[in-house]
């Protein structure tokens, strides 16, 4: 017996029965995001490894230990993308998109070699937006309001918003000094990662997932006390905008992001329903990244949401997974007429999901398949109906009589079933 091959650990198949729930989320996300005038961009899954080192940062978890990086047969150093922002920036520079403001969105798989657990996978999916060329708090507010709108569209009520400002480079530098002094004073309580980061990137210590460090982090100085006038005004305007829009939030002065490129506004949407993997959406401003990657100085802001974590929160019971109707055919004449009837019905009802039974079989076995398909209606074509140009229709969900219908009546019924989906 040949050995059976399996998917790579932490990488999952989305089976046909799960696909409608993914589509439900993706359709809502696309509708909400494009409702704000954002346009989709698709970039390759493979990029030069250098792109992520230079953007995300050499001393981040992602680049230090999570990236799938390898040399291809031509000797090029490549990486499966661990996130979407760096690729968007690269593409925007490469194609000269940055001479005017851009509102862009993307979706797709990302790859990080993390320890697989609930809400943490090695191939996972993000939907994200990136805005280029707009510097004010108004656009920060827009992207946050957009995410709030998406949660409402998806029926998610229990997400809380945390915001913070990382200030500008010189403000962070001043803060860094005081933070390092604080952390050095508690050095015995730090873990190896954090001790190492004291000299490489101390702000990252604030993002540590190690619960033992929580007291030290809670006692650390607050970044917000280090903001200069402009950063403070930006942050205050954002908070005022959130208040005016009725978007609830809390200020978390120790919120930093696991990537190096952020400045000023950062935010996360968090749920308590997923344990340690509670952040479903994270983003912020990264005004320095475009220039850092060789483009002209361009302010930018964006976010990425984790599809799998959101899917875990969505109430799937109301999402229709089956077709609108399942067509069964009994008798030779009916079986011969069924394909043409199915095509006429598809012509008449745009968007109709109609499954046609194939392969014959008894009424009972065909009907069982109709039921199992999850269809709302069974359409039954017998020889008699085929001759008369009619079709019988039986609701499969929620009861109701079987009725014989003319073509136009059948069309009307199918339109209703489609609209109710
Ligand atoms: P975490 O702190 O949970 O590791 P992160 O800071 O690494 O998250 P980002 O790089 O900001 O996450 O990615 C944005 C979102 O993508 C996260 O908020 C999360 O919802 C999702 N995400 C990140 N890593 C994974 C993963 N390995 N599996 C599933 N979803 C993920
Ligand atoms: Mg992470």
CATH at residue 345:
3.40.50.800
Ligand 1 proximity of 306 Cβ (cutoff 6 Å): yes
Work out the average pLDDT over 378-405: 93
Q: Which pLDDT does position 320 carry in this prediction?
A: 81
**pLDDT, tens digit, 9 for 90 and up, residues 207-225:** 888 899 999 999 999 999 9
Q: What is the C-alpha separation between 59 and 269, in angstroms, rounded?
A: 25
**Which residues on neighbouring strands pair with residue 106, listed in sequence order?**
128
Q: What is the extent of the structural domain holding 125?
A: 19-167+227-311
384 and 241 fall within a common domain: no
Report the atom number in ligand 1 closest to the C-alpha of 66: 27
Ligand 1 proximity of 274 Cβ (cutoff 6 Å): no
Residue nearest ligand 1's atom 29 by CA:
120
Q: What is the C-alpha separation between 366 and 358, in angstroms, rounded?
A: 9
Work out the average pLDDT over 52-80: 94
| 364 within domain boundaries | yes
123 and 148 fall within a common domain: yes
Q: Do 357 and 366 form a contact (C-beta atoms < 8 A)?
A: yes
Number of domains in the chain: 2
- Report whether pLDDT(246) > 90: yes
| 10 within domain boundaries | no
| 177 within domain boundaries | no
Q: Averaging pLDDT over each range in 35-49, 194-208, 386-400, which range is the top one?
A: 35-49
255 and 338 fall within a common domain: no
Q: How far is CA 117 from CA 69, 120, 275, 314, in A?
A: 22, 5, 11, 19
248 and 305 fall within a common domain: yes
Residue nearest ligand 1's atom 7 by CA:
258
Ligand 1 proximity of 102 Cβ (cutoff 6 Å): no
294 and 163 fall within a common domain: yes
Work out the average pLDDT over 270-279: 90
Tokens at residue 20, please? 């409608």
Q: Which pLDDT does position 199 carry in this prediction?
A: 86
The last residue of one of the domains, among 281, 311, 341, is 311
- Report whether pLDDT(258) > 70: no
The last residue of one of the domains, among 311, 343, 377, is 311
Q: What is the C-alpha separation between 338 and 327, in angstroms, rounded?
A: 8
| 98 within domain boundaries | yes
Work out the average pLDDT over 124-135: 98
- Report whether pLDDT(388) > 80: yes
Q: Which pLDDT does position 272 carry in this prediction?
A: 92
124 and 237 fall within a common domain: yes
Q: Which pLDDT does position 300 carry in this prediction?
A: 98
114 and 85 fall within a common domain: yes
Q: Which pLDDT does position 200 carry in this prediction?
A: 85
58 and 126 fall within a common domain: yes
Q: Which pLDDT does position 59 carry in this prediction?
A: 79
| DSSP H helical ranges for 245-382 | 289-292, 307-311, 332-348, 363-372
Ligand 1 proximity of 83 Cβ (cutoff 6 Å): yes
Mean pLDDT computed over every residue of the chain: 95
Q: Which residues contact 134 (CB under 8 A, 6 or more apart)?
A: 101, 299, 301
| 367 within domain boundaries | yes
**Do strands 325-330 and 377-382 pair parallel, antiparallel, or not at all (unpaired)?**
parallel
Q: Do 140 and 238 form a contact (C-beta atoms < 8 A)?
A: yes
Q: Which pLDDT does position 122 carry in this prediction?
A: 98
- Report whether pLDDT(259) > 80: no
| 200 within domain boundaries | no
CATH number of the domain bearing residue 150? 3.30.930.10
**pLDDT, tens digit, 9 for 90 and up, residues 189-206:** 999 989 988 888 899 899
DSSP, residue by residue, 380-410: EEEHHHHHHTEEEEEE-SS----EEEEHHHH
Work out the average pLDDT over 404-415: 96
Residue nearest ligand 1's atom 16 by CA:
306
Q: Which pLDDT does position 72 carry in this prediction?
A: 97
Of the ligands numbered here, which is closest to the C-alpha atom of 117? 1
Give the closest residue to 113 by CA, choosing from 191, 56, 61, 43: 61
The last residue of one of the domains, among 311, 334, 361, is 311
Ligand 1 mean position to 258 CA, how many Å?
A: 9
| 9 within domain boundaries | no
User: Residue 213: left (phi > 0), alpha (psi -120 to 50), or beta?
Assistant: alpha
- Report whether pLDDT(66) > 70: yes
246 and 372 fall within a common domain: no
**Which residues on neighbouring strands pair with residue 405, listed in sequence order?**
391
- Report whether pLDDT(52) > 70: yes
| 160 within domain boundaries | yes
Report the atom number in ligand 1 closest to the C-alpha of 278: 3
Q: Which residues contact 256 (CB under 8 A, 6 or more apart)?
A: 164, 166, 203, 204, 206, 207, 223, 262, 266
269 and 368 fall within a common domain: no
Ligand 1 mean position to 239 CA, how many Å?
A: 25
- For the chain, give percent helix, strand, coil, nearest 5: 40, 20, 35
Where are any strands of DSSP class E within 42-168?
46-48, 69-71, 77-80, 102-111, 123-132, 160-165
Question: What angle do the packed helices 137-153 and 229-244 form, to 10 degrees?
Answer: 30
Work out the average pLDDT over 75-79: 98
Q: What is the C-alpha separation between 13 and 6, in angstroms, rounded?
A: 10
How large is the C-alpha radius of gyration of the chain?
27
Q: Which pLDDT does position 33 carry in this prediction?
A: 98
Of the ligands numbered here, which is closest to the C-alpha atom of 208? 1
Q: Do 161 and 247 form a contact (C-beta atoms < 8 A)?
A: yes
Of the ligands numbered here, which is closest to the C-alpha atom of 257? 1
304 and 412 fall within a common domain: no
127 and 250 fall within a common domain: yes
């Amino acid at each position: 017996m040949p050995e059976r091959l399996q998917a790579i650990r932490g990488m999952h198949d989305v089976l046909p029965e799960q696909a409608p729930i993914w589509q439900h989320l993706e359709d809502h996300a696309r509708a909400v995001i494009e409702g704000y005038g954002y346009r989709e961009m698709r970039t390759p899954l493979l990029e030069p490894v250098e792109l992520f080192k230079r953007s995300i940062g050499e001393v981040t978890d992602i680049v230090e230990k999570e990236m799938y990086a390898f040399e291809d047969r031509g000797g090029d150093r490549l990486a499966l993308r661990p996130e979407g922002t760096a690729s968007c920036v690269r593409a925007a520079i490469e194609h000269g998109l940055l001479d005017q403001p851009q509102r862009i969105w993307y979706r797709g798989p990302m790859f990080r070699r993390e320890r697989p657990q609930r809400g943490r996978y090695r191939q996972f999916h993000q939907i994200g937006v990136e805005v280029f060329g707009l510097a004010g708090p108004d656009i920060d507010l827009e992207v946050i309001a957009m995410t709030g709108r998406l949660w409402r569209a998806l029926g998610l009520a229990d997400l809380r918003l945390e915001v913070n400002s990382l200030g500008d480079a010189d403000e962070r530098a001043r803060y860094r000094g005081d933070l390092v002094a604080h952390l050095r004073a508690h050095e015995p309580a730090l873990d190896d990662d954090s001790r190492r980061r004291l000299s490489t990137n101390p702000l990252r210590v604030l993002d540590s997932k190690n619960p033992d460090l929580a007291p030290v982090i809670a006692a650390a100085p607050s970044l917000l006390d280090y903001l200069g006038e402009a950063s403070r005004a930006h942050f205050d305007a954002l908070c005022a905008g959130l208040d005016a829009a009725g978007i609830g939030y809390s200020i978390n002065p120790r919120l930093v992001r696991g990537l190096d490129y952020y400045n000023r506004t950062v935010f996360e949407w968090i749920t308590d329903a997923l344990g340690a993997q509670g952040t479903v959406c994270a983003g912020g401003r990264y005004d320095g990244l475009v220039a850092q990657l060789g483009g002209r100085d361009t302010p930018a802001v964006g976010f990425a949401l984790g599809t799998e974590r959101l899917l875990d929160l969505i109430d799937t019971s109301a999402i229709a997974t089956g077709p609108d109707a399942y067509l069964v055919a009994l008798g030779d004449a009916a079986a011969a007429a069924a394909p043409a009837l199915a095509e006429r019905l598809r012509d008449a009802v745009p968007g109709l999901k109609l499954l046609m039974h194939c392969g014959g079989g008894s009424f009972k076995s065909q009907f069982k398949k109709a039921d199992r398909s999850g269809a709302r209606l069974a359409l039954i074509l017998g020889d008699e109906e085929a001759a008369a140009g009619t079709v019988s229709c039986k609701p499969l969900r929620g009861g109701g009589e079987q009725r014989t219908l003319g073509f136009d009546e059948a069309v009307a019924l199918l339109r209703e079933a489609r609209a109710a989906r």
